[in-house]
Chain A
Amino acid sequence: MFARDRARAAELRERYPHAAEVFGLYLALVEAWESVGDRVPSDGAVEWAHVHVLPRVIEATAAHGPPLLAAAVRIAVGNGLLAPDARAGPPAAAKGPLGTAAGSGGGPLGTARRSAGGLLDAWLAGEELPPVERYLARATMRVVPLATPPDHEAAGAGPVRSDPRREPGRCPACGGAPQLSYRTAGDDPLVSGRRMLHCARCAHEWSFSATTCPQCGETGKRTVHAEAAEESPRGQPRVGRGSAADDALFPHLRAESCETCRGYLIDVDLGRDPRAVPHVDELAAIPIDLHMADHGYTKITPNLMGF
């Protein structure tokens, strides 16, 4: 199920030393996801993921995450805040480091989760979570199919589907925000592939306008930011679908921004690298993300690793 992810992450870890730490952790997560295989139950998947997947994600993170993240997770585990049974509510005194301490009840991280919910439910409900919580929730829910989120609806939080007419860039399956966009590859260089969006919540993919902002719907004022070819006589950026410069570090990656809302997404061009796995390759674009942040743009949704 994750064979392509694993092979591509291993390849990119070699190709991009700047992201070796990121891909090292990703590969450890792939191990964790594969270890649960296809045992995810169709009913109560979120509860099941909390009990069976979250501990493996924690284990992988503690062993292969960057030192501060690994230490943070170890502390939370040491405090009993990430124990499987904490979903029902930890001791009232327990206040976790991963979230706020306001409210009552508590949750898996000792935060102000509703008694019926926890870390995963909060994420499913679209709550704004601190980066570490968001990372743990996303890494855990990666193996849970969410296209129709029965647990979420059963939990009383209401349906999360969006109305695509009102929110054009939202996932038509679960209402989540897009993580990235990619261009499909064609056999013919004279054909521009369709633009697809990849959901940050449920990994659903859908076709979307190539020139519309998935965040605010703006149809003009679109900018692509790409590596310029050093040898180009006029210093032009190689932004199109022609062949990339030989010395390009990211020949198939670029950022697409909206000048109205200042949001952006990383775009993966499969026409330039048909072997790319968009949600894996996007993790390598850290220097482009830093460039975009320097220029005042905000990614529509941070990726699994927080970039």
Chain B
Amino acid sequence: MDVSRRQFLSIGSAGVLGGSALGFDLTESVRIKQRLRIEGATLSHSLCPYCAVGCSLIAHTKKAANGKTELLHIEGDPDSPVNEGTLCPKGATSLQLAVSRRRVPHPLYRAPGAAEWKQVSWEFALDRLARNIKASRDATFVAQDADGNVVNRCEGVAFAGGAAFSSEEGYLATKLMRGLGLVHLEQQARV
């Protein structure tokens, strides 16, 4: 092959043949590049919300066409001194906390004695919940204990906080339940 000094220099500095600095034929690579569907995902640090171990996560997200941020994948953070890249099965599936095709999007109600669930409105569900809580509270409310001390407590209802509660949600739930007189409050996040 006859290579002029000019060609030679072009290999040595700027590159030739569509960008290969050493003169490799890129025709096929360019064709593949055009066919490949390469997508970018942003990496962010997060924490598993499920328990007090507090494993570090790396979350992969992407801006969707509608402008919303989509969560694509979650993996353990190998840099974390807490979990060193490991996740328990709960943490490894924490993606489903945000994205799950099996999530039920409407309230469902199964009436006493009924075999089937039926879809109801949020208004119906919230109203029903409030009435049942009030009925249970009223039925089991203790104003004074056996020694006559004023205690004003509800012994017939217990509350279990969700593992994925944020601090604010935990505060709100505690405030509300204490307001109702509940004494049996539990928080799964310290299991």
The chain A residues found within 8 Å of chain B, CB to CB, are 17-19, 21-22, 65-72, 75, 97-99, 130-133, 135, 186, 188, 190-195, 209-211, 220-228, 230, 234-237, 239-242, 249-250, 255, 257, 286-288, 290-291, 293-294, 302, 305-307
Contacts and interface: CB of A to CB of B under 8 A. Distances in A.
Contact of A210 (B17, B30, B41, B77): B77
B12 A237 contact: no
A209 B109 CA distance: 49
B94 to A, nearest CB: 12
A87 B138 CA distance: 97
Contacts of A286: 24, 26, 29
B60 A239 contact: yes
B38 A193 contact: no
A138 to B, nearest CB: 11
Contacts of A242: 73
B176 to A, nearest CB: 36
Contacts of B58: 192, 210-211
B79 A291 contact: no
Contact of A97 (B12, B38, B39, B45): B12
B22 A287 contact: no
17 contacts: A68-B23, A69-B11, A72-B23, A75-B3, A98-B12, A131-B22, A132-B21, A133-B12, A223-B42, A224-B60, A225-B39, A234-B70, A237-B72, A239-B73, A287-B32, A288-B36, A302-B21
The 4 closest A-B pairs by CB, nearest first: A68-B23, A306-B21, A240-B73, A131-B21
Nearest to A194: B78
A190 B88 contact: yes
Contacts of B31: 18
Contact of A293 (B19, B45, B88): B19
B36 A68 contact: no
A227 B15 CA distance: 27
B46 to A, nearest CB: 11
B180 interface: no
From DSSP, what is the main secondary structure of chain B's interface residues?
mixed
B78 A193 contact: yes
Nearest to A134: B21
Contacts of A193: 78, 85
Interface in B155-179: none
B36 A249 contact: yes
Nearest to A132: B12
A66 B25 contact: yes
Contacts of B32: 18, 249, 287
Contacts of A305: 22, 24
A211 B11 contact: no
Contacts of B20: 66, 306-307
